[in-house]
Amino acid sequence: MYIHKNGVGVRVNMDSLFFDHALLPEGWARDVRIDLGADGLIATVAPGAKRPASGTSGRIAVPGMANLHSHAFQRAMAGLGEWRGDGDDSFWTWRETMYRFLARLRPEDLNAVAAQLYCEMLEAGFTAVGEFHYVHRQTDGAAYDDPAQLSLEIIEAARATGIGLTLLPVFYAQGGFNAAPVIGGQLRFANDPDSFADLVERCGHATKADPRTRLGVAPHSLRAVTAENLTQVVQAASSGPIHIHMAEQTREVEDCLAALDARPVEWLLANHDVDQRWCLIHATHMQPVETGALARSGAVAGLCPITEANLGDGIFDGVRYAENGGRWGIGSDSHIRIDVAEELRSLEYSQRLRDRARGRLVGASQANGRALFDTALAGGARAIDQPMGAIAPGAWCDLVSLDADHPALIGKKDDDWLNGWIFSGDPSCVRDVWAAGRHVVVDGVHLERAAIRAKFAKAMEHLLA
């Protein structure tokens, strides 16, 4: 039974869902009943159950995916960086466009943009997000009266849409290696250790009462924090995930070598106890020894294939990383596209283009789509510290019902449903979505889509005026 609160389905008592087919940890099962607890977690899973008299919740159920890396405000500027100037166009020129865009962003704009983004994520099959949130200050660099003002807007947007949230406040203290000053658009990101500690404490109070909202920290990158600051941030983060941008650009690697006499991943592994709490975002440019060492550390590589392609970052060494047992998950980063299938497809295709061979991230006799999906589920759940990624007791009831009549899926079964979705489908393959037991997407449409889009439209009128 469901009631509706602010347009989002809210479960009010014990209930059950029933699917013709469901992807369980042990594999595909038929006639699966999923009993939901009042806390939004799965209580029991019963394959081979008796079919209900009133019909089923869907024909194909798979776990919801974690989106482990998001900069929510960038959804509003997607496509605006596609103008080439007189010189070379790169990540660094795109970054200047981003800084200019930030000059008009108000708290209410961030709320509207984040809600629109999270609505789209849920419609695509992402049921939780790791928000790498680094805009903390006013346009002139002055603090808001509440240092967590913009973080609170993110939290509110997540709750309004029903998506799970792991908030990752970003520590950003310098404009580049060798203590380069924070200038221009970077002024909105800046904190010192004391002000950052206040920010994290305030975010902790805001997230404490909601088990679906987790808290971690995100030292932005080695170029944006000093070695001393990084140690302080890590020591202060007694629990929760630690995310950091790492080795995204060749120029970043060169600057790190000049400043620290080591490559970024090499330096981090040598100076910190990198373990399963860590998520290294991108980690694109590594030497083979770094790739193997990172894989064996237990950390998660946070891959954002669509954004990495859009920015011309380079190709992650996924084959070597997988051979060393590395864990990875996916994120949509700058939000050029919000598409589970396209992120996974882009990752696999980048490996194929580099190696001129197929099936690069899959073992012998395995389905490509299933292997990619399973790996991303597990890596994403670990990276954002949410009990998800499996239809199993104790996990959040995060479910995606695929449309068995979609042209990419029709007539297929089992792992070929995932092959079809990932290699020939898109978000239109997603029919219904439950997040922590809440039925938030029905027939491909988020329950609050119309109201959320109207607020987004007003925000865009201001941002693009």
Q: Of 255, 313, 317, 333, which residue is the catalytic one? A: 333
Assess whether 15 carries a catalytic annotation.
Answer: no
CB 150: neighbour CB atoms within 10 A? Answer: 26
First to last CA, the chain: 45
Q: Of 136, 243, 245, 282, which residue is the catalytic one? A: 282
Q: Is 141 helix (H, G, I), strand (E, B) or coil?
A: coil
CA distance 88 to 12: 56
Buried b / exposed e over 88-102, threshold 16 CB at 10 Å, is eeebeebeebbeebb
Give the single-character DSSP code of 52.
P
Q: What is the 3-state secondary structure (H, E, C) of 97-133?
A: HHHHHHCCCCHHHHHHHHHHHHHHHHHHCEEEEEEEE
Rama region for 241: left / alpha / beta (φ>0; ψ in -120 to 50; rest): beta
Assess whether 20 carries a catalytic annotation.
Answer: no
Q: For residues 136 and 169, is the Cβ–Cβ distance under 8 A?
A: yes
User: Comparing C-alpha atoms, which of 175, 192, 256, 276 is closest to residue 228?
Assistant: 192
Contacts of 205 (CB under 8 A, 6+ apart): none
Which residues are the active-site residues? 282, 333
